[in-house]
Structure 1
Amino acid sequence: MPKVSIPEDNSRKIASKSHNSYVLEGIDSHQSTQVAPSGLLQPFSEELEEQLFSQFKLVKEQLKSYLGEPFYADAGFILYEGDLTKFLDRLYHSNLKIGLTITSPPYNIGKEYEQPMSVNEYIDWCASWMNQIHKVTEPNGAFWLNIGYLEVPDKGLCIPIPYLLWDKSPFYLLQEVVWKYGAGVSTKYRLSPRNEKWLFYVKNSQEYTFNLDDIRDPNVKYPNQKKNGKYRCNPLGKNPSDVWDFPKVTTGKKRSSKERTDHPAQFPLGVVERVVKVSSNATDVVLDPFAGSCSTGIASVGLGRIFLGFEIRRDYCEIAVERFKRFMKQKQEFFEQKELF
């Protein structure tokens, strides 16, 4: 990526080469997140296509029997409009089990899409649906929960929600993953927040899906380093660790992410792509009970899984469906372009 030079202004400390390495070395030109990572656009084998078609048809029919008609269903993508607790209760009485759940609920911080609750009410509400998710999860399934911070009156301003929720379901908490990013809220009387957390839960602590080779990072500083005559690093790359650096879905003139929709709280496809790869297998059912703009849905379908989403707001359902249709069109164009070469 080409470096962009910054003019030096010696009257300001932060604009001086002696104090600011970005002025000295230049900065990487901004690159917004793409409409979809190329890993989600790859064609499937004929065998997998057939398996996906059969699985999608089976799942859709099962869901219609217990949940009713979906808001939208096509090509492995199934979206219901309504409250998650109602749908999760009905799902529990079906034979369908979920291989992986990925979601980011409201943080109880006054956003347009949430009802205000006391902290205790919020914890009880989250505990309720987390327990419901546990009931519909396969024995070797996983649950990835993305959460940020909230205020606990008279106790703290930026309390990490994981402190409040980590033990509020029968799931086994395997670890916390820190998602760090560059853009974020600027603050004056505290440090500017630049991370959120993912809680990685599994149903069975001794047996669960974990496809490490599918997410290994090939960017290794010393790929040929040896110990006792043997290479130290896996030939596919290193474990990406529990700190993930992915850019947020940004807004603003000349900086808006290409994947940006009108949904106000959209997490990037790059993050959820990694989660889908590591914690599920092809044709598994992946659930997002707070579907929003359906980043989970697009990543799941792009990786050969069946997506099931619940979203209570019709306008968000409409945003998600249009986004999915654009994604499928892009995937087809990507395939046709590859065919030319």
Structure 2
Amino acid sequence: MNERIEAIKAALGKPYYESAETLLYHGDCLELMGRLNEPAFDLTVTSPPYNIGKEYEKVLPLADYVAWCSKWMTRIHELTLKSGSFWLNVGYVSVEDQGKAVPLPYLLWNQSPFFMLQEVVWNYGAGVAARRSFSPRNEKLLWYVRDPAAYYFDLDPVRDPDVKYPNQKKNGKLKCNPLGKNPSDVWQVAKVTSGANRASKERTPHPAQFPTALIERVVKSCSPQGGVVLDPFVGSGTTCVVAKETKRLSVGFDVRSDYLDIAIRRLEASEQKLF
């Protein structure tokens, strides 16, 4: 096991699950992160509860929810390496007497010392149908960095090969990178759907599962191979599965052991697929 992962394990104690690449812990992320004393992570990518009444969350007054997010976001900043990034996926929330579906990024973008580098729009194909508004088909990802002058970023592994004129030249040189084009800040990635006839192949019992393709783009571009990735709300374990399959190490936290059990099954299935 990697030295940095060993140091994290020594600080956090006995994990709920461990392998050579992954540590999973059952518990509150603020309490667990409070045991760590120094920066340890190249990348954090996560999606916290949206405060909308899902089965895995307790709805808080909106001001309390924002204050809670500020606490764990600030702690992530303290544990991020200078070259590191933090990717936050959040949806929408109702604000009494002010808005039906207010994007959470409007409320959270400045709730930590991180530098917010960019907003990425995740456009997905499936969703609820609306009658008195446009049907929602997107969520946001906020990309934060610890140091805007020294963050890790590698575009090549995530270039889009779908180039209209791949062989077009200017002054005898290809105008487009042979690996493909920049995928832009609007990502079209299918949602993990449920239902008897339309469930995604990667679907698990978790009610809010990350698509593997979405997290793979983040992990490949914003962390080096051998780096350590954190997901403090790991849920069904997509972040850890992607980290494993792309030769990164990972640490995940969740307050629900049944979700961790889903993550473990996925990690073990990934192990069989890799070997």
TM-score by length of 2: 0.97
| Residue of structure 1 in register with 2:199 after alignment | 256
Instruction: Trace 1:27-38 onto structure 2 (pairs within 5 A).
Output: none
| Residue of structure 1 in register with 2:58 after alignment | 115
Cα offset, 1:96, TM superposition: 5.3
| Residue of structure 1 in register with 2:7 after alignment | 62
Q: Distance in 1 between matches of 2:199 and 2:63?
A: 36
| Residue of structure 1 in register with 2:31 after alignment | 86
Q: Distance in 1 between matches of 2:200 and 2:147?
A: 37
Cα offset, 1:328, TM superposition: 1.2
* Preserved CA contact (<8 Å) 1:59 1:96: no
Aligned residues: 275
Is 1:74 the counterpart of 2:19? The answer is: yes
Cα offset, 1:185, TM superposition: 1.3
> Which among 73, 81, 84 is matched to residue 130 of structure 1?
73
* Preserved CA contact (<8 Å) 1:84 1:289: yes
Structure 1 vs Structure 2: percent identity of aligned residues? 52
Q: Distance in 2 between matches of 1:305 and 1:330?
A: 16
Once the two structures are superposed, residues 160-191 of structure 1 have per-residue CA deviations (whole angstroms, 9 ceiling, x without a partner) of 00111111111111100000011011122211
Bigger radius of gyration: 1
| Residue of structure 2 in register with 1:16 after alignment | none
Once the two structures are superposed, residues 115-135 of structure 1 have per-residue CA deviations (whole angstroms, 9 ceiling, x without a partner) of 111111111110110000000
Cα offset, 1:218, TM superposition: 1.0
Instruction: Trace 1:231-242 onto structure 2 (pairs within 5 A).
Output: 231-242=174-185
Q: Distance in 2 between matches of 1:245 and 1:291?
A: 23
Q: Distance in 2 between matches of 1:85 and 1:253?
A: 37
| Residue of structure 1 in register with 2:104 after alignment | 161
Q: Distance in 1 between matches of 2:26 and 2:196?
A: 33
Once the two structures are superposed, residues 254-311 of structure 1 have per-residue CA deviations (whole angstroms, 9 ceiling, x without a partner) of 3211111111000100010110000000111100000000100000011111110001
Q: Distance in 1 between matches of 2:122 and 2:5?
A: 33
Code of the residue aligned with 1:155 in structure 2: it is Q
Q: Structure 1, unaligned stretches of length 5 or more?
A: 1-52, 333-341
Is 1:316 the counterpart of 2:256? The answer is: no
SS at match of 1:210: coil
Q: Distance in 1 between matches of 2:164 and 2:226?
A: 35
Instruction: Trace 1:78-227 onto structure 2 (pairs within 5 A).
Output: 78-91=23-36, 93=37, 95=38, 97-227=40-170
Once the two structures are superposed, residues 25-68 of structure 1 have per-residue CA deviations (whole angstroms, 9 ceiling, x without a partner) of xxxxxxxxxxxxxxxxxxxxxxxxxxxx4x1xx34432332211
Code of the residue aligned with 2:183 in structure 1: it is P
* Preserved CA contact (<8 Å) 2:16 2:26: yes
SS at match of 1:90: coil
Instruction: Trace 1:19-34 onto structure 2 (pairs within 5 A).
Output: none
Is 1:276 the counterpart of 2:219? The answer is: yes
Q: Distance in 2 between matches of 1:167 and 1:80?
A: 28
Q: Distance in 1 between matches of 2:126 and 2:56?
A: 22
Q: Distance in 2 between matches of 1:224 and 1:66?
A: 53
Q: Structure 2, unaligned stretches of length 5 or more?
A: none
Cα offset, 1:235, TM superposition: 1.5
Q: Distance in 1 between matches of 2:4 and 2:17?
A: 14
